[in-house]
Structure 1
Amino acid sequence: MAALATSVVSFTAGAQDEDRLQKIREKGEISVAVYRDFPPYSYAGEGGRYTGVDVDIANALAQQLGVRLILNPVTAGEDSNDDLRTNIWRGPLINGSASDVMLHLGMDPEYVKRNDKADLFNAYQRETVAVIYHSDVIEKLDSPLNLSGHKVAVENDSISDYYLSGGFNGRLASAAVRKATVEDAVDAYFNNEVDAVMAPRGQLEGALFKRKQSAAELDISEFVGLFRSSWDVGMAIKAGNPQLRAALEKALATLQQSGQIDTIYQRYGVNRAEPKAAVK
């Protein structure tokens, strides 16, 4: 009986120690979570088929690993903690299971350090809050305070919304014109309903590209205030899977060295900025 108990304990410990990469190889597939309704990174295109920068990156990573991609479009939670809990280390409470990888996570250095349940790494883009504006109305934009007295479209409950609402002791709060999406904000801009749009640069460039508009007047100042206006974007896996991490690091490095990552971004009209963090 004691021998049986010892065998069971040993088997269980071995199962817990199995790296997720082994399971991915055995199944021949990798599940990757991307954000739902998040152009130009992941959104439903023609026929409802998901497309975008992150979708193409997910496909490229799967090809590098030699497995089939299972794409999981997910709805964003209240914050990154919710997203990682639901999609990476625990899974949803009702239906479904955790994904092997999740893309487009903000890589705040302190958050990465203190997160012990998910491994955030492989930064592949630097995102920056940016502004597109009518230069005949706003002559120059060397300070966000130049937006005072103007109508600035922002996506509701986004970092740009929080920035205008809380920055500079609320002096820009009245400038905010809230829209459901960045694309709606850009539509308002071209309909001359607003003087400017504030949003993450990649989303702005993607929206302009879909409209076949030039991004020549896209100001990419790293505004300072209450909120961080630039951050690295990377991926996440469940903590304790060093082999999977190493495989994904190698895959991303190969895609970057070949130029495939930049080609993917260009496909959607986005100029990829190199992350500040090392690709790890």
Structure 2
Amino acid sequence: MRARGGLARFRGLAGALVLSLCGVAVMGPRPALAACEGVPPEQRLQNTAPQDIGRSYDQIVEDGWIEVAVYENFAPWSWEEAGQPRGIDVEIADLIAQELGVEARIRFVQPGETLDQDLLNYVYRGATVGGRVSNLMLHVPYDVDYACRFDQVTFTGQYAQERLAIAYRAADYPEKGPVPAVFRYDPVGVENDSISDFYLTSVAHGATADKVHRYPTTLDAMAGLAGGEVMAVMGPRAELEAGLAEGLLVHEPPLLGLARSKWTVGAALSFQHRPLGYAVDDAIAAGLADGRIAGIFARYGVDFMPPER
């Protein structure tokens, strides 16, 4: 598998959101503000004129299909196997399409260095050279402060929570799972330039740095754990669970100094197509209410945590 994007990605979590997640506990509490209060339009990320792009909800229904962008090589969320798209996000795209009465056409996309770049390339403008937007993009992290900085993107359809966890060999930690402090002494695997990499090399003032082993992906790190190269792996729980082998366990210990260890994922689309956004959110709400989304996670052996909607 190809290496993921850089630190700012968190498989989508980027820019200011990463800084929020990495905020250390010693920082003072932020004042309570109404959503988007204190974010004047001229300070938002886009300064280009709106363009009529994408396809409207009515056009999608008339055409009978919707294009959904998902990240490539991203098990258990989205990947291609024997020429067929597979994964949690792929099945959620199908669920949305079924609720809309259309066919889902899956578009695998590469992650950029930041979520800002991904939204520009796939949601509201298209890449500079040969780019085009999709009707919908999945696995977009939702954070109200981050969303307020975008006036050309609608964030909707929150369908799950991701959270950081640690996988380990039960034989190495027979009494209880490891906490980050032990990685001053025990080797631990992480996806290169991920939030786990950043956190573990920062904890204990860098005392863990020489014990952190970097891999192209979390799944590669899990293979290293199964092969005895490291004693544990830190990363998003779903990706850890996708790589579990015999004798390996996953737990969620306290992560001291990390402002947030879990975050919500949902969908993003161009602000020009709000009726589509409402329809997508209704589809997700229906899937959450009747258990279909929980069932999708169960089919991939991933623990499901409902989103905060």
TM-score normalised by structure 1 residue count:
0.85
Match of 1:229 among 261, 264, 268: 261
Q: Which of the two has higher C-alpha Rg?
A: 1
Structure 2 residue 133 is the aligned partner of structure 1 residue 114:
no
* 1:40 and 2:85 correspond: no
Cα distance in 1, alignment partners of residues 222 and 53 from structure 2 = 49
Tell me which amino acid in the other structure corresponds to 2:149: R
For 1:274, the equivalent position in structure 2 comes to 306
**In the alignment, does 2:169 pair up with 1:134?**
yes
1:19 to partner: Cα distance: 7.6
1:84 to 119, 131, 152: 119
Q: Among the aligned pairs, what percent are the same residue?
A: 36
Distance in 1 (CA, whole Å) between partners of 2:187 and 2:178 is 17
- Distance apart, 1:188 and its partner CA: 1.2
Over residues 122-175 of structure 1, what are the superposed CA-to-partner deviations in whole Å (9 max), with x where a residue is unaligned? 211111111012344345457421222110011112111111122332122222
Give the SS at the match of 1:162. helix
CA positional deviation for 1:200: 0.3
CA distance in 2, matches of 1:144, 1:198: 9
Tell me the equivalent position of 2:90: 55
Would the alpha carbon gap of residues 214 and 206 (structure 1) be closer, same or farther in structure 2, given more than 3 Å must change? Answer: farther
How far apart in 1 are the matches of 2:214 and 2:52?
Answer: 47
Equivalent position amino acid for 2:128 in 1? L
Q: Is residue 2:252 matched to residue 1:220? A: yes
Relative to structure 1, is the Cα distance of residues 53 and 244 closer, same or farther in structure 2, using a 3 angstrom cutoff?
Answer: same
- Aligned pairs for 1:101-250 within 5 A: 101-138=136-173, 139-141=175-177, 143-208=179-244, 211=245, 213=246, 217-226=249-258, 228-250=260-282
Deviation at 1:273, TM superposition (A): 0.7
Query: Counterparts of 1:88 and 1:233 in 2: how far apart (Å)?
Result: 16
Deviations 1:99-137, CA, capped at 9 Å, x for gaps: 011000111221022221111122111111110123443
- CA offsets per residue over residues 222-248 of structure 1, 9 Å max, x none? 413256421111110111322111101
- SS of aligned partner of 1:32: strand
Which structure features the higher share of helix residues? 1
1:190, CA displacement in angstroms? 1.4
Number of aligned residue pairs: 258
Q: Secondary structure at the match of 1:114?
A: coil
Letter in 2 for 1:203: E
CA gap of 1:96–1:136, structure 2 versus 1, over 3 A, is same
Question: How far apart in 2 are the matches of 1:271 and 1:164?
Answer: 24
Shift of the 92–198 alpha-carbon distance from structure 1 to 2, 3 Å rule, reads: same
Whether contact under 8 Å (1:130, 1:222) holds in the other structure is no
Ranges in structure 1 where 5+ consecutive residues have no aligned partner? 1-14
Tell me if the contact between 1:144 and 1:223 (Cα under 8 Å) persists in the aligned partners.
Answer: yes
Task: Compute the TM-score of the two structures, normalised by the length of structure 2.
Answer: 0.78
| Distance of 2:211 and 2:61 partners within structure 1 | 52
Give the whole-Å Cα distance in 2 for the aligned partners of 1:53 and 1:19: 25
1:69 alignment partner in structure 2: 104
